[in-house]
Each structure stands twice: as structure tokens, then as C-alpha cells.
Amino acid sequence: MRLSKTFWLILGIGISVIAVGILGWFYLEQRGDGQRLDDSLSSAQVTLPTLVSQRGDLESQLTQSDSELAEAESWLNELKAIFESVESIEYDEALFDIADDCNLEITRLTALEPRDEEVETITYITASFTVDVEGTVAHILDFIDTIATDEDFTNATIGLVNMQVPEPEEEGKPSATINLVIYGYQGE
């Protein structure tokens, strides 16, 4: 069976049309992909300056946060220096010096064993002192004021103060019992 030239011509044209159709379909598909890529690129180019600006803002915030952290660490170190360990400061000597400057006589000085005390979420070492002094009322008040304002006692609180002032017809000097609590930082 012999095929005619017309058949081969129609077959060739059909195959050519199919091939052109497939190539056209691929071309249109690639053109759509190219358009989507162009759109993505345009979107990325629009978004890029915003992201670069945000990055600069975030770097600025990070620098500021680092600065604030360094400042907070410095402040913490200052506080640690203020709240030195209670055992490292000779408070009894300081109390005797202040009493001497105020013309008072310390008749008794009692210190309790340091113990841990939690204030909010911070644990401090506290030492309690009881100081009995004798002298004039003015000197006793000066002694209390000096303790309250002395830099060696910035981490101390004055608790109970019990003063006895004898009546004019009674013998004896005015005296006071002063309770102090000294806070020290307990390192990690």
C-alpha cells in the first residue's frame, strides 16, 4: 500500500501544526513564568528599601539596648559596692568613732550573727546591732542623725530607738538603746 504525496503532505502539515502548537504552549508558559518573576522582582525592589530602613532602626535599637544594658550593669556594680558584705566592714569601730565624735559613751554593743533576709526577690545578708549609749539628749539625737546620714551606714536602717531620760530629781544620765539592721549584698 502506497501512500500518496497528499497524505504525506497532510501528515507533515499536521505534525508541524502540533509541533508549533506545543512550542507555542511552552512559549506562553515561559512568558507567564517570566511575567511572574518580573512581578516578584518588582515587589522585592519595592520592599527592599523598607527592609533596609527597618534593619537600620533595629540596629539603632540594639545599640541603644546595649547601651542601656551597660548602664544597668554599671548601676548594679555600684549597688553591689554600696551593699558590701556585712562581714567586710568594721561597723563596731565606726559606731565607736561616731559615739566619740558625739561625746557619748557606748555602754553596750551587741551584734547578732549575720543571716539571710529576702526583700522582694533579692537575698541580702543582714546583721543586727543593738547599741546602748549614755550622754545628753542632744548628743544622743546627734548620734542617731549621724548614723542615718553617714556614708558607712547607707545600707543600714535604724529600727527601734528607746530613750530613757531621768527626771530632774533622779540621778543618772539620759540613755538610749538603738537597734540597727545593716544590709549586705549576697553575691552569686
Tell me the per-residue pLDDT of 34-51, one tens digit each, with 9 for 90 and over.
888 888 888 878 888 888
d(CA 32, CA 86): 79
Residue-level pLDDT at 179: 93
The span from the first CA to the last CA of the chain, in angstroms, equals 103
pTM, full prediction: 0.52
CATH topology of domain 86-185: Alpha-Beta Plaits (3.30.70)
Residue-level pLDDT at 103: 92
Burial of 68 (0-12, 13-18, 19+ CB in 10 A): exposed
Nearest to 147, CA basis, from 188, 118, 106: 106
Q: Which residue ranges of the chain lie beneath pLDDT 50?
A: 84-89
pLDDT per position as a tens digit, 20-37: 888 888 888 888 888 888
CA 186 vs CA 73, 118, 161: distances in Å = 16, 10, 27
Nearest to 102, CA basis, from 146, 157, 149, 160: 146
